[in-house]
Structure 1
Amino acid sequence: MPHTPHAGALPEQLTTTRPIGVIADTHGLLREEAIVLLKGCDPILHLGDVGDFSLLERLAAMARLYTVRGNIDTQSWCEQLPWRQDLIVNGWHLHLVHDKADFDPAAPCDAMLHGHSHKALNEWRDTPDGRPRLWFNPGGAGKRRFRLPITLGRLWAEETQLRRAILHLPLID
């Protein structure tokens, strides 16, 4: 099941040699193509609008899973999911939130990962103190919204750089 932080807890520190899988906005649909693209990732981060608890069980069977709650996650099982979560992966501070509107730009992190819009985003922006911060949205991997592509993301938290990619799932619907 997804890891849930304790109130006031320091960010969990992880090490990995694998890519980090990043998925959002599944809305109850975990596509087989997404499973294929997430194989070999550890951890997997789900950035909200999960829609179905069994989806989290499937992802947790693949790798360590960290999940934040999205605006459609209103069922009783969602109460265990935090609205925000911080992780440190190989020294990189990742801040997870569903809606970027809920992100405090003064928050200390190297990357702000979010979902909600279903629109992939992968860019470095300067923080108020002039340091670069990655803004990363893997896009929507579940039910297709409007005419947007179906996507998810991968991050590689290396010693000197945070590499990232948006991966497009084939459209068969």
Structure 2
Amino acid sequence: MKRIGLISDTHGKLSKRVVRFLEEVDEIWHAGDIGSEELADKLMELKPLRAVYGNIDGHVLRRMYPENLRFFCEEVDVLMTHIGGYPGRYEPRIRKAMYANPPQLFISGHSHILKVVHDKKINTLHINPGAAGNSGFHNVCTAVRFKIDGKNISDLEVLEFERTKF
């Protein structure tokens, strides 16, 4: 069993609230727009990190992390990318992979909007953790925690706080 902490769109800043939220996880997954190598290093000091780069990430982060990351956690097939769209409206560059070989768990960021949706058509759980950072149009900072045990994804928890209280 693994406890996963999922964040996105930190844009180089991470509040103490999010750091405390991530203390109880086994791995941190970042769905892009990390914002700085320093923040990536800080996350790696906390827990093992899996990440993809986002549209604001510069050339150094793009060399450190891929655009798409497909892997297994326990027995769950995971596909993570920054700009991925939503069920029924996947981004064209990811759509073919989604329908040809659907993952059990699809993670994307970019929208700054927390969303958890089951795509019944391909039996995929989609999670967008929203924005954990302090830059962007969002008014609420969010992060997600959940458990993966074998093939099961469970115990999803959400951290949510006003951006003004960053």
Give the share of equivalent positions with the same residue, in percent: 26
List structure 1 runs of 4+ shifted beyond 3 angstroms: none
Distance, in Å, in 2 between the alignment partners of 1:148 and 1:64 is 29
Which structure shows the bigger proportion of residues in helix conformation?
Answer: 2
| 1:12-23 pair list within 5 angstroms | 17-23=1-7
The one-character-per-residue Cα deviations of 1:19-78 (angstroms, maximum 9, x if unpaired) are: 101010000101111100000212110110011111111111111101101000123343
Q: Which runs of 5+ in 1 are unaligned?
A: 1-16
2:103 corresponds to 1:109: yes
Q: Which runs of 5+ in 2 are unaligned?
A: 85-90
1:135 maps to: 126
1:9 maps to: none
Which structure shows the bigger proportion of residues in strand conformation?
Answer: 2
1:38 to 1:170, Cα distance in 2 relative to 1, 3 A:
farther
Q: Please, what TM-score do these two structures have when normalized by structure 2? A: 0.84
Amino acid at match of 2:114: A
| 1:1-173 pair list within 5 angstroms | 17-100=1-84, 101=91, 102-104=93-95, 105-106=98-99, 107-128=101-122, 132-159=123-150, 161-163=152-154, 164-171=156-163, 172-173=165-166
1:159 to 1:116, Cα distance in 2 relative to 1, 3 A:
same
Distance, in Å, in 1 between the alignment partners of 2:79 and 2:69 is 6
**RMSD over aligned Cα atoms:** 1.7
